Structure 1
Amino acid sequence: MMRRSGLCLALILSLSACAYDGGDIGNPFTRKVQWYSFVGGDDIQAACAAGAPDQARLVYNAVWGEQVRIYEWDGNRRDLKIRVIGPGNLTGLSSDDVLAPWRAVETRVALSAEARAGLDAALAEAGGFGPPAVGLDLPSHGYYWASATCYAGRFTFTGWRWPSAAFDAARFPAALFALDPGRDGVRPPADQSLDLQWEEDVRRGVAAPFLISVGRTGRVR
């Protein structure tokens, strides 16, 4: 285990992915090395089989480094797990937890069977359980939804990228935001084409854009 952890940490700078092992994705170090695997739902895919409980992980990327919102629910729980990752707030820095400013803020809200069925229906309507959007690129410096699900024993990974008709037509984002206590802080899509500061940060090597792509059987890095 120590050797595996060491190998993962050695890959931090390249954002190469180690398999998500069910750990705390809110921890910035875990997030750095397991993010691809987490978003792609590798753990969900590994457990998905006939008779397995339904499970869903929806990630709203509202520009990496600015805001990422994670929503998870499954057939075994009666709550919606919400985690929000922001740009980091150094006012929260303390000697007790030096990583505190970059940790995800986690909340759980009650999720009735009716509400869960509504989320499933809205996700199905948007194509969340159907053929994936193969070849769709989901850029870190942009706005998109990524969905990893196990539904009726079948795994699906797909996404919706803004701007697009599919992104605009999807009803599940509004359904999730309505349940989110932090809904007022949701970052809406906005044009990034003239973000000169971002372009300068990339040029200087301060920022490193990356892509997650949708494949036929799962995510493609």
Structure 2
Amino acid sequence: MKIGAGLALAVALALGACAYHGDDIGNPFYRKLQWFSFAGGDDLRESCAAGGPDRLRLIYNAVWGEQLRIYEWDGTARDLRIRVVGPGNLAQLTSDDLLAPWRAGETHVTLSEADHHALIEALDAAGAFGPPAVGLDLPSRDYYWLAATCHQGRFTVTGWRYPSPSFAAARFPALLFARDPGRDGVAQPRERGFDPFRADAEPRGAANDFLLTIGRNGLVK
């Protein structure tokens, strides 16, 4: 009986550790444990209410493990928080910080009222606040945008995958990149050629790929 209770507690703690509640997602440890919850905006969903401020989280996945860009801001602070994760640079490894090569770089940019409205209008035009793209698969090895938003008291999660008409028509990426100090390093979508290392890893289950899928009320596993 005691063993069963202990096991139940361990499972509960493990599941709780996977929920994102504001931890530093730039830290690779939290990113590994909490990515599904963070990307799906679970924390935004919990706080989203009528009369509250808009909160927006936009993720540009330019092949997981190569480049990841995260843009967040709300309707009151107007502080655009930008985090960028690259493939890892072992030259940054130190005895004081063994995770340094995989930590996200972070910058902050002030959004003017005009900037904020332009982004909201572009997101609205792209369908970010309307019915989600239910059933859209977002493979980690592809290029896509994922948006988790609380806008006018309504929580929505949707995405845009390359190549597609909706991805090509979206105007908000250009607006975000224009305000990104690291805009020159943005990885543009491209067709991927044959990767012999990946071809060897896939049959052995060592490719570490994963899939996010848009559901009616958020991401589904």
Same fold (TM over 0.5): yes
Aligned position for 2:152: 152
SS at match of 2:30: helix
Shift of 1:6: 6.4
1:119-152 per-residue CA deviation (whole Å, 9 max, x = no partner) reads: 1110000000000000000000000000000000
SS at match of 2:56: strand
1:96-131 per-residue CA deviation (whole Å, 9 max, x = no partner) reads: 111110000000011111101111110000000000
CA contact (8 A) 1:8 1:33 kept: no
List runs of 5+ in structure 2 lacking aligned partners.
1-8
Change (3 A) 1:92 1:170: same
Aligned position for 2:79: 79
1:66-117 per-residue CA deviation (whole Å, 9 max, x = no partner) reads: 0000000102312100000111100000011111100000000111111011
TM-score by length of 1: 0.91
Q: Which amino acid aligns with 1:203?
A: P
CA contact (8 A) 1:79 1:112 kept: no
Aligned position for 1:128: 128
SS at match of 1:26: coil
Q: Which amino acid aligns with 2:98?
A: V
CA contact (8 A) 1:137 1:212 kept: yes
Aligned position for 2:50: 50
Aligned position for 1:174: 174
- Mapped partners of 2:218, 2:127: distance in 1: 15
Change (3 A) 1:205 1:139: same
SS at match of 1:60: strand
- Mapped partners of 1:143, 1:63: distance in 2: 6
- Mapped partners of 1:113, 1:6: distance in 2: 42
SS at match of 2:36: helix
Q: Which amino acid aligns with 1:220?
A: V
TM-score by length of 2: 0.91
Q: Which structure would you say has the larger Rg?
A: 2
Shift of 1:19: 1.0
- Mapped partners of 2:219, 2:46: distance in 1: 13
Aligned position for 1:112: 112
Superposed CA RMSD in Å reads: 1.9
CA contact (8 A) 1:72 1:82 kept: yes
Change (3 A) 1:178 1:92: same
Q: Which amino acid aligns with 1:70?
A: I
SS at match of 1:84: strand
Of 14, 20, 28, the match for 1:7: 14
Q: Which amino acid aligns with 2:41?
A: G
- Mapped partners of 2:157, 2:163: distance in 1: 20
Aligned position for 2:6: none
- Mapped partners of 2:118, 2:179: distance in 1: 12
List runs of 5+ in structure 1 lacking aligned partners.
10-16
